[in-house]
Amino acid sequence: MTIHVLVADDEPHIGRIIQTKLEQGPFRVTLVSDGPAALSALEEYPDIALVLLDVMMPGLTGLEVLARIRADARWSALPCMILTAGGHEQHREEAFKLNVDDFLTKPFSPKRLFARVAELTATAPGVS
Ligand SMILES: [Mg+2]
């Protein structure tokens, strides 16, 4: 069984690094490159078990997407991670106000990212 992870990042090489790492494990990745596409993917794939959002993206920022996820009863408990460039401490505060499950700073360790995704999806409802 694969665990479906949604990754939203507007830098294609970052998205590919994350996808390659996660797909070494029990994960399958849907990769999008802007905020509105992240919300569309959630509508389209009800099996998404975790969302990883870059902050600076076209359309809607990752924090705006996170706020919409948390405000929607279908996704309010969905594990969400935020990924941002270093030096944006206000993003961390905002993300934790929105009940983010984890916050990673670029440059990030793909191994650590994998470990956190594995931990967070192991406790997600409906995933065993
Ligand atoms: Mg970005």
d(CA 57, ligand 1 centre) in Å: 5
Residues 56, 42: Cα–Cα separation, whole Å: 19
Neighbours of ion ligand 1 (CB under 5 A): 10, 54, 56
- Give the number of domains in the chain: 1
In a domain? residue 27? yes
- The pTM score is 0.94
- Give the model confidence (pLDDT) of 76-116 as tens digits: 999 999 999 877 889 999 999 999 999 999 999 999 999 99
pLDDT value, residue 88: 83
In the reported structure, the alpha carbon of residue 100 is separated from the centroid of ligand 1 by a whole-number distance in angstroms of 18
Residue 128 predicted with pLDDT over 50: no
Instruction: For residue 114, give Cα distances in angstroms to 7, 12, 67.
Output: 12, 18, 24
Within a domain: residue 127?
no
Is 35 within the bounds of a domain?
A: yes
* 27 CA to centre of ligand 1 in angstroms: 22
Dump pLDDT digits (tens) for 25-41.
999 999 999 999 999 99
Calculate how far, in angstroms, residue 128's C-alpha sits from the geometric centre of ligand 1. 32
pLDDT of residue 67: 98
Across the chain, what does the average pLDDT equal?
94
Q: What's 89's domain CATH number?
A: 3.40.50.2300
